C-alpha cells in the first residue's frame, strides 16, 4: 500500500483487471441506452479517484478503459447528437498530469460527442461544487455513473454519495476496501475514519465477530443506503457487490453498485457475472490462472446453477406463492430485480428438470421460455 501510495504509476493486479473488465462491459452496454434512449441524450461518467491513466506494464487505467469503451463502441456511428461527458478527478498532481498525457496519446483525437475534463483536486469537494452548480442553476443532472475507487476508505463520505443519488438517473460503483477495514478495526490510528462509516455499536460487533468480512460490508451498505434513502426520499434502491480476493486469498475489496433502476442492475449483474469465475461474484487472485484467455468461466462451470436455481425458486415462492400461473416475463424480472443472479434460461431449465416448476405454453423449443408463456411453482 505505502509504495503504491507514493509512485505515480504502479503494477496492475488481476483483481484490478477484473474491475476494469466490469467497468468496460457496463459502460459499453449501459451508456448508449442512457444517452441514445433517453430525452437527455447525455451521459456523464465521473471517475472520482481517476489515477494516472496507466499501469506500469502499459495497461490502461480506468479513465482510459471508459474512453476507449465509448470511442471504439460498435454503435459509435449512432452517437452523433448525443454527449458522453467524462469527468476525471485526481488529487495527486503527478498522476493527474500523467493521465492527461496518456489520454492525449491513447485516445486523442476524440469525436465531437465524446468530451472529457481532468480535475486535479479532491473528490468530495470537487463533486460537491459540481452538484452545487447543478442545483443553483435549477438544472437536473444528466444520467450519471460515478465510479468511486479510492485506495482506502477514509475519503468515502456518505453525504456526498447520497447527494449524487438524489438525482433521478444516478448510479454509483464503489471500491470498498472491506478487507482493510477488517484488518485495521483494532488500530487506534484508523478509528476516527472508521467512526465516519460505522456506529460505535457496529464497530464493536465487527471486532467481536472476529474477521467476519460480510459484516463489514453489510453495515457499510446498510448505512449508505439508509443515508441515501433519508436524504433523497428514494424508497427502492438496488445493490449488488462483487468480492475480490488477493493472492493470499484474503478479501481485498468489494465492488459495490447502487442504482434506482432495475435495468441498470441487470446490466451490472451481467458485467459482474461475466467477470466472475463461478457466478458467486467472487474473484480471487489466489487461483487465478494467467493462461486463461479471459476471466470468464461462466459458460463452463455450472457450480452457480445449483445455487442460482434454488435461490431463485425460494424468492419466486416468496413473491408469487405456489400453484398460480405466473407470466414468464414477471418471473424473469423478479429474478433480475429481487435476486443476486442474472436471468439465464438455464435457471428455469434446472427448475423444470427438478420438477420445481411446470411450464404452460403452447409451442416452444426445448429449454426456451418465451415471455408469452406461464410457469406454475410446485
Ligand X SMILES: C[S@@+](CC[C@H](N)C(=O)[O-])C[C@H]1O[C@@H](n2cnc3c(N)ncnc32)[C@H](O)[C@@H]1O
Q: Looking only at residues 92 through 111 of this chain, which bind ligand X when binding is defined by CB under 6 A?
A: 92, 95
CB atoms within 10 A of CB 298: 19
Q: Is 274 in the site for ligand X (CB under 6 A)?
A: no
Site string for ligand X, 310-349 (x = CB under 6 A): ----------------------------------------
Q: Looking only at residues 277 through 306 of this chain, which bind ligand X when binding is defined by CB under 6 A?
A: none
Minimal distance in Å, beta carbon 255 to ligand X?
Answer: 11
Q: Angle at which helices 158-165 and 123-136 pack, to 10 degrees?
A: 40
- Block residue for cell numbers 505515480: 8
User: Closest CB to ligand X among 20 and 350?
Assistant: 20
Q: Candidates 84-92, 158-166, 189-197, 243-251 — which segment interacts with ligand X by CB under 6 A? A: 84-92
Residues 288 and 55: their CA atoms lie apart, in Å, by 19
Minimal distance in Å, beta carbon 288 to ligand X?
Answer: 18
Q: Is 151 in the site for ligand X (CB under 6 A)?
A: yes
DSSP secondary structure, 231-295, as one string: HH-----EEEEEEEE-TTS-EEEEEEEEES-HHHHHHHHHHHHHH-SSSSSEEESTT--TTSSSS
CB atoms within 10 A of CB 109: 7
Minimal distance in Å, beta carbon 63 to ligand X?
Answer: 7
DSSP secondary structure, 288-333, as one string: --TTSSSS--TTT--HHHHHHHHHHHHHHHHHH-TTSEEEHHHHHH
Q: Looking only at residues 50 through 69 of this chain, which bind ligand X when binding is defined by CB under 6 A?
A: 50-51, 61-62
User: Which 3 state secondary structure label does DSSP give 362?
Assistant: coil
Q: Is 238 in the site for ligand X (CB under 6 A)?
A: no
User: Closest CB to ligand X among 95 and 261?
Assistant: 95
DSSP secondary structure, 156-197, as one string: --HHHHHHHHTSTTEEEEEEE-HHHHHHHTT-GGGHHHHHHH
Q: Candidates 44-52, 176-184, 236-244, 338-346 — which segment interacts with ligand X by CB under 6 A? A: 44-52
Q: Is 149 in the site for ligand X (CB under 6 A)?
A: yes
- Block residue for cell numbers 445449483: 306
Residues in the interface with ligand X (CB under 6 A) total: 16
Residues 40 and 31: their CA atoms lie apart, in Å, by 12
Q: Candidates 43-51, 109-117, 266-274, 333-341 — which segment interacts with ligand X by CB under 6 A? A: 43-51
Minimal distance in Å, beta carbon 141 to ligand X?
Answer: 19
Cα 202 to chain center, whole Å?
25
Minimal distance in Å, beta carbon 282 to ligand X?
Answer: 19
Q: Is 171 in the site for ligand X (CB under 6 A)?
A: no
Q: Candidates 79-87, 143-151, 259-267, 276-284 — which segment interacts with ligand X by CB under 6 A? A: 143-151
Among 45, 88, 123, 245, binds ligand X (CB under 6 A): 123
What contacts 314, CB < 8 A, 6 or more positions away? Answer: none
User: Closest CB to ligand X among 122 and 352?
Assistant: 122
- Block residue for cell numbers 468511486: 148
Q: Is 90 in the site for ligand X (CB under 6 A)?
A: yes
Q: Is 266 in the site for ligand X (CB under 6 A)?
A: no
Cell numbers for 320: 408469487
Binding site residues, ligand X, CB under 6 A? 49-51, 61-62, 89-92, 95, 122-123, 149-151, 155
Amino acid at each position: 500500500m505505502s509504495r503504491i501510495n507514493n509512485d505515480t504509476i504502479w503494477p496492475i493486479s488481476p483483481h484490478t483487471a477484473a474491475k476494469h473488465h466490469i467497468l468496460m462491459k457496463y459502460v459499453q452496454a449501459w451508456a448508449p441506452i442512457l444517452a441514445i434512449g433517453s430525452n437527455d441524450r447525455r451521459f456523464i461518467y465521473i471517475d472520482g479517484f481517476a489515477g494516472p491513466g496507466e499501469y506500469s506494464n502499459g495497461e490502461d487505467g480506468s479513465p482510459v478503459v471508459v474512453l476507449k469503451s465509448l470511442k471504439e463502441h460498435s454503435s459509435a456511428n449512432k452517437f452523433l447528437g448525443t454527449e458522453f461527458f467524462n469527468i476525471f478527478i485526481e488529487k495527486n498532481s503527478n498522476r493527474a498530469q500523467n493521465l492527461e498525457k496518456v489520454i492525449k496519446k491513447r485516445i486523442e483525437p476524440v469525436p465531437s460527442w465524446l468530451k472529457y475534463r481532468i480535475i486535479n483536486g479532491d473528490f468530495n469537494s470537487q463533486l460537491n461544487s459540481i452538484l452545487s452548480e447543478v442545483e443553483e442553476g435549477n438544472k437536473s443532472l444528466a444520467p450519471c455513473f460515478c465510479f468511486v475507487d479510492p485506495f482506502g476508505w477514509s475519503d468515502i463520505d456518505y453525504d456526498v454519495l447520497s447527494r449524487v443519488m438524489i438525482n433521478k438517473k444516478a448510479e454509483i460503483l464503489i471500491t470498498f476496501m472491506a478487507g482493510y477495514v477488517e484488518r485495521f478495526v483494532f488500530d487506534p490510528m484508523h478509528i476516527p475514519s472508521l467512526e465516519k462509516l460505522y456506529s460505535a455499536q457496529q464497530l464493536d460487533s465487527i471486532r467481536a465477530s472476529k474477521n467476519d468480512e460480510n459484516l463489514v460490508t453489510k453495515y457499510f451498505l446498510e448505512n449508505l443506503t439508509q443515508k441515501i434513502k433519508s436524504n433523497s426520499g428514494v424508497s427502492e434502491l438496488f445493490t449488488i457487490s462483487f468480492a475480490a480476493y488477493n493472492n493470499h486469498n484474503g478479501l481485498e475489496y468489494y465492488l459495490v453498485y447502487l442504482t434506482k433502476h432495475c435495468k441498470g442492475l441487470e446490466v451490472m449483474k451481467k458485467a459482474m457475472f461475466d467477470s466472475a469465475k463461478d457466478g458467486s461474484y467472487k474473484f480471487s487472485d489466489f487461483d487465478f490462472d494467467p493462461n486463461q484467455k479471459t476471466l470468464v468461466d461462466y459458460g463452463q462451470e455450472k457450480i452457480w446453477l445449483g445455487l442460482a436455481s434454488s435461490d431463485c425458486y425460494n424468492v419466486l415462492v416468496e413473491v408469487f406463492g405456489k400453484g398460480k400461473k405466473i407470466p414468464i416475463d414477471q418471473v424473469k424480472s423478479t429474478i433480475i430485480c429481487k435476486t443476486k443472479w442474472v436471468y439465464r434460461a438455464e435457471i428455469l431449465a434446472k427448475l423444470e428438470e427438478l420438477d420445481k416448476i411446470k411450464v404452460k405454453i403452447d409451442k416452444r423449443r426445448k429449454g426456451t421460455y418465451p415471455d408469452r408463456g406461464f410457469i406454475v411453482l410446485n
